[in-house]
Structure formats: C-alpha cells, structure tokens
Amino acid sequence: MSGHAVVVLGATPRELRPLARALRLRPEPVEDLPAWRDDRVVAVAVGVGPARAGAGAARVLDAVAAQRVVITGVAGALDDSLEVGDLVRPFIVVDVRSGVVRTPSTPAPDGGVLATVEWVHVSGKGPIGGRDVRLPAGTTAVDMETAAIAAACEAKGIPWDVVRAVSDLAGTLTQEVASLLRPDGRADIFKAAHLVLRDPRTLRRLVRLGLDSARAVRVATGAVVSELTAADTGRPPAG
C-alpha cells in the first residue's frame, strides 16, 4: 500500500473489537483513541455523536496516512423493509444538523438515505437530549457519526464508504432505553438498574437490544472483513 493504510472508523470499541480479532490486529492507540492495527489496516474508535466522531476522525487522519476510510458500526432502521442485521450501504448520507449531503465513493444505487443525527433518535418521538429534528425525505436509517466522519475525510481528499448494520427497528427503541446511552457509547448502568426496578419489562428490552446490537456488529464486521480481503486478493467481496 506504499505506506498507506485502510482506516476503519467506528464510534465505540465494542463495534471494532470483533474486527480486530478477525484481522489479528494489535492494540495500539492512535492520538489517545482506542485503536488496533497492522501494516495494512488501522481501526480506531472515534467516539459517539457527530462532534466527537468528527473531531476524532480529523485527528486520526492527521496521524495516519490513509488510502481510504471505511465507516462501520450499527444503525437504526426507519424503513419497514429492513430487519435487524441487514447491511446499510447508503446511496447518500445527510447531516441533519446542516442539511449537507455527502456521497460515498461507491454509493449503493438502492441503498437509500442514511441520516446522521446529533442525538439518539426514537421513531415518531424525535431525538433524545436535543431539539426536535426533521429527517430528510426517504431516510431509511439513522446513525450519529457517518456524516461528520465523511466531512473529515473529504477535507483531506480521502475516499470513504459506509458499511453498517441494523441494530434496532423503527418503533422498538423507547425514550427511556435510548436515554441510557452515555457520550462514550456505554450504557449508564445505575440508570438502567433504576429503570428495571421501576418497570421490570425494561430488562427484556435491554437484553433484546444488546443481542440485536451484537448481531449487527457481527454482520458489519463480516462485511468489512470481506471487503478488505477482496481488496487484497482482487476478487469481489462475498455477498
């Protein structure tokens, strides 16, 4: 790669550790961010939310000579045709904060619109922790980092693509459960315990969300590994 690496960026270590294991990457922080790498691939957790992810991505791309960037992790589905574990490869990505539209280097013609929001979005009830937002027409899925990472890539002229997977469906993420997510991507355990004590049904929702998120991470990881392997061999990725 002539000294250049494929950089894989996700929000949290949980979304990247399976990739690191699959590719046998060694742990090695990049700009004090959790990261794993070898001579070909660098995977870095840049933080949850557009502000953290955008700033983290910019720091990483200053420190690493990137050939291309793959943005991965989980996404919430808004399109009723999507199921947990389905891949999200958008045609365009829209930053809901600014309305700026960004296009992956290999847009999927039938991939729909991925909207990047500033707060966890609950279908039909607006975002958690912020003002109400209007999602772009045709939005099929939402996340909290892609548009900001894409902006950092485009500022440096680095091609980028998105390989995410659905972790939750429209109408299944409640306001209370969504509010448990902390800025570092981990759940607020004490708040979760309080919710479970108040309403034991919350435990079932949390377990289901955990299982579905783990499944989504596995699917996204498999797709990224397939793409990277295909790039090395010159063969098209599986699936």
Closest CA to 178 of 138, 135, 123: 123
Rounded alpha-carbon distances, angstroms, from residue 204 to 85, 136, 209, 213, 214: 19, 32, 9, 14, 15
* pLDDT band at residue 69 under the 50/70/90 scheme: very high
CA dist 152 and 103 (Å) reads 13
CA dist 195 and 192 (Å) reads 5
* pLDDT band at residue 192 under the 50/70/90 scheme: low
For residue range 155-188, what is the model confidence (pLDDT) as tens digits? 999 999 999 999 988 766 655 555 656 555 566 6
Per-residue pLDDT at 229:
87
Residue ranges and CATH numbers for the domains of the chain are: 5-233 (3.40.50.1580)
For residue range 212-232, what is the model confidence (pLDDT) as tens digits? 999 999 999 999 999 998 876
For residue range 125-163, what is the model confidence (pLDDT) as tens digits? 454 444 556 788 899 999 999 999 999 999 999 999 999
Query: What is the residue-averaged pLDDT of the chain?
Result: 85
**Which residues, including other chains, have CB under 8 Å from residue 27's CB and lie 6 or more apart?**
20, 34, 35, 36
Amino acid, single-letter form, for residue 239: G
Per-residue pLDDT at 129:
44
